[in-house]
Amino acid sequence: MAIKKRRSFGDFMDEYFEDFEREFERRRESMLDVPSWDEKTCAMRPLSDLKVTATEVVMTVDLPLTVESSVQVKPLDERTLEISAEMKRKIKFKELGITHRKGEFHKLHCHKQVPVPVQMDKMHVSIKKGLLEIHIPRKRKR
């Protein structure tokens, strides 16, 4: 009969902080790689938040100054959403406090990854006062 060695509290904390550091580095690198805008398509990337619950995934996307009828949410595959919207007016770099670049933006556009398996065909989208909320039910494990 094999005796299972119990882990000490210190081992548990070391493992926890190592996992935390790996995740922090992964997210930091992904944020540094992608700018907040795309000058070629004249699009800005909107701010967003993702919340995963036991039954659904809730994605909130801030779409300021957009024409609500132009908002489009399309599933690209089983884990990726494409969100785009036309803006009411053009935003220039100068308005953002960036003086070393020239250009303007007239739409918001982004691709968002969903970290868990979901049912894209049952997605519910609502927008109110420039705040887009997407509810996607999670797939049940069998």
- The mean pLDDT of the chain is 86
Q: In this structure, what CATH number is given to the domain that contains residue 88?
A: 2.60.40.790
**Residue range of the domain that includes 98:** 37-137
Given a contact cutoff of 8 angstroms between Cβ atoms, the answer to whether 82 and 74 are in contact is yes
In a domain, residue 49? The reply is yes
Give the pTM: 0.71
In a domain, residue 74? The reply is yes
Give the pLDDT band (50/70/90) at residue 134: very high
| Better-predicted residue by pLDDT, 27 or 101 | 101
Give me the number of domains the chain comprises: 1
